[in-house]
């Protein structure tokens, strides 16, 4: 009977595991292999260069600058996105005034606000980036036009043309595009928390802030931790690349102020014909991502709460 059960389980797992190996594990192995070559990405002819690409990586100022920007996004983006999402979710589910027959309720029109917050998720990141590219236009963009309309015409930043502001503009696009997803996710989690917990806390004199830190956040911690890892990977990966590639000068400018690791991989592979070196940067990006995920999971570990 046991042998039949194991054969049944293996029969279901063999195809998914084979596909995962072919389409996920094998490309990783190929990338690591090519990182030890001088492959151009176009010619089938290449030779092994050993650790030459990695030695070059350590002396590449552009790599270190891109790494700095990627790590900065990975550290700050989850804090901002998850912080805003938790605040909005709490207000939509718990932060409203007491109403007749309900001690705990969200703000008026919470259902409509959830739709508004989630709307950016309907748009692709490319469309979102293009919309913000028009908004950041220093001459006719929405932001500077609004500043001029309220009497702040003397305050006309270059936005994407200013090396000190460009990376923050990229981060703003990523925040706007991602907050809505976590608002809906956290709202679903808060809706599952028994209202009796909040009512008992309020009867004991607890404030809404206290209920958030003592009830809501501990019971949602597993979801928050998963969201932290997800946002960090997103900041290090394709989402940041798409925004930088579409809206920034160069892209990656001005003066490399918005260059990130994923953009550097793309440029080295497809612009400079240095696919071997690009895969080396990709391996470095993989290591950074794994370290980030491990640190977040380790620091965020706590005893699981059930209700």
Mean pLDDT, range 34-40, rounded to an integer? 91
Q: What is residue 105's predicted lDDT score, i.e. its pLDDT?
A: 67
pLDDT digits (tens, 9 = 90+) for 168-183: 999 999 999 999 889 9
Q: pLDDT tier at 304 (50, 70, 90 boundaries)?
A: low
Burial of 96 (0-12, 13-18, 19+ CB in 10 A): middle
* Model pLDDT for residues 108-167, shown as the tens digit of each residue: 777 788 788 888 888 888 999 999 999 998 888 888 888 888 887 778 888 998 899 999
DSSP alpha helices (H): ranges in the chain?
Answer: 2-20, 26-34, 52-58, 61-93, 110-122, 125-135, 142-149, 166-191, 195-203, 208-211, 217-219, 221-236, 238-247, 261-266, 275-299
Gap between the Cα atoms of 235 and 239, Å rounded? 7
Q: Which tens digits make up the pLDDT trace of 184-235?
A: 889 888 888 888 887 788 777 778 788 888 888 888 888 898 899 999 998 9
CB 105 within 8 A of CB 199: no
- Residues in CB range of 55: below 8 A, 6 or more apart: none
Q: What is the CATH number of domain 61-299?
A: 1.10.3720.10
**pTM of the predicted model over 0.75:** yes
| Between 216 and 66, the higher pLDDT residue | 66
Is the CB of residue 170 less than 8 Å from the CB of residue 244? yes
Q: Half-sphere exposure of residue 120, counting CA atoms within 13 Å on the CB side?
A: 20
């Amino acid at each position: 009977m046991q042998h039949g059960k194991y054969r049944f389980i293996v029969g279901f797992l063999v195809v998914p595991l084979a596909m995962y190996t072919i389409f996920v594990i094998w490309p990783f192995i190929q990338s690591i292999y090519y990182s030890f070559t001088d492959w151009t990405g176009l010619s089938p002819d290449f030779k092994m260069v050993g650790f030459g690409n990695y030695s070059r990586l350590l002396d590449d100022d552009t790599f270190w600058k891109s790494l700095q920007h990627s790590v900065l996004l990975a550290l700050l983006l989850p804090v901002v996105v998850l912080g805003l999402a938790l605040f909005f979710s709490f207000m939509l589910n718990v932060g409203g005034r007491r109403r007749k027959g309900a001690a705990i309720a969200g703000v008026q029109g919470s259902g409509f606000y959830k739709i508004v917050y989630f709307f950016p998720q309907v748009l692709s990141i490319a469309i979102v980036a293009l919309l913000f590219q028009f908004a950041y236009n220093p001459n006719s963009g929405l932001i500077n036009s609004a500043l001029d309309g309220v009497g702040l015409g003397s305050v006309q930043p270059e936005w994407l043309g200013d090396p000190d502001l460009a990376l923050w503009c990229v981060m703003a696009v990523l925040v706007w595009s991602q907050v809505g997803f976590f608002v809906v996710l956290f709202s679903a989690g808060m809706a599952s928390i028994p209202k009796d917990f909040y009512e008992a806390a309020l009867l004991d004199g607890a404030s809404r802030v206290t209920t958030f830190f003592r009830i809501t956040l501990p019971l949602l911690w597993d979801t928050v931790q998963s969201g932290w890892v997800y946002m960090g990977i997103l900041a290090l990966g394709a989402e940041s690349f798409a925004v930088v590639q579409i809206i920034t000068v160069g892209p990656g400018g001005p003066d490399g102020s918005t260059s990130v690791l994923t953009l550097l991989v793309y440029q080295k592979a497809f612009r400079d014909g240095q696919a071997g070196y690009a895969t080396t940067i990709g391996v470095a990006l993989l290591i950074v991502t794994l370290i980030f995920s491990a640190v977040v999971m380790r620091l965020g570990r706590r005893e699981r709460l059930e209700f």
